[in-house]
Amino acid sequence: MKVSVLGCGRWGSCIAWYLDKTGHEVLSCGLADAPEFLTLKETRKNDYLEYPESIEISSDLEYAVKRAEVIVISISAQHLREYMEDISKSNLDGKIIVLCMKGVEEKTGCRLSEVVGAFVDEEKTPIAVWVGPGHPQDFTKGIPNCMVIDSKNEDVKKKLCNEFSSPLIRMYIGDDFLGSEIGAAAKNVVGIVAGMLDGMNYQSLKGALMARGTREIARLIEAMGGNPLSAYGLCHLGDYEATLFSKWSQNRMYGESFVKGQKYGKLAEGVMTTKALKKLADKHNVEMPIVSVLYDILFAEKPFEKAMEELFGRSVKTEFH
């Protein structure tokens, strides 16, 4: 398949590298003046991997879209809408858009597929999401993992799973499009809290965080019309090891750096996703203590020690209520 991967940061470059390895004709597209694109263009490598000669590199977005059967987008979630304004200038009929990015639009509370859906006819341009655990640092060493592809279009998600699956990444077919998106976005929020616990040397509380976090997200997914069991799959709970424990997790590292008073210069999608989930919780009248506490820490200047004490010292309740 002719695949154009839009975005050449950590994940975008890894996806391009991976899809080339699985036999597809891959173009890696980035912004002409972006440091990560310039590095790849000049050296064909970055901090995580090296591109083989078979991967085409270009900053011509119009060309990248035109040539592709499948367009994989891997950029910052909060910039997706303005990015789609450029992409949608081209004819997208007959192409598949795959979102390999995790988040919820902060300004609107829209899922990322809803953002894309505002620009395309989904009957002509199906939308899929690619979610689940893993880090480029592991994949490039040959360490395998399992991931999920989900879509409203049954044929599309089956086709993508068959085309993109390999011994390195075992693909599963998702069966809850909404739950897959919300679960994947929300794990980054829980990851930030996990990092804060690490920074406070309260790692023992991660067990409670995992149990309560999954239940909390399950309630939101159900209130939004999805399957609450999705929160216990690869999109959320199955991604906890990579997000709440791994040294490669940018959201966990952000949380740890925050409580230590250190600046963390890399993208942590969970920060703005926290704002978006707070809006969704209020809209759907869902109690989300973990989201609310993190929101207060990040955006209401509440001392994290006091916030964490309140979170884990709440009134006695039955375990999963």
Which residues are annotated as catalytic?
Answer: 187
Closest-CA residue to 226 (of 188, 180, 277, 184)? 180
Torsion over CA of 225, 93, 86 and 161, rounded to 10 degrees? Answer: 60
Helix (H, G, I), strand (E, B) or coil at 304: helix
Task: Kindly state the DSSP code that residue 226 receives in the 8-state scheme.
Answer: S
Distance CA 205, CA 185 (A): 22
User: Do 135 and 166 touch, CB atoms closer than 8 A?
Assistant: no
CB 46 within 8 A of CB 34: no
Structure-token match 């980054």, residue found: 188
Q: Which is nearest to 37 in space by CA: 64, 69, 18, 10?
A: 10
Cβ proximity of 103 and 273 under 8 Å: yes
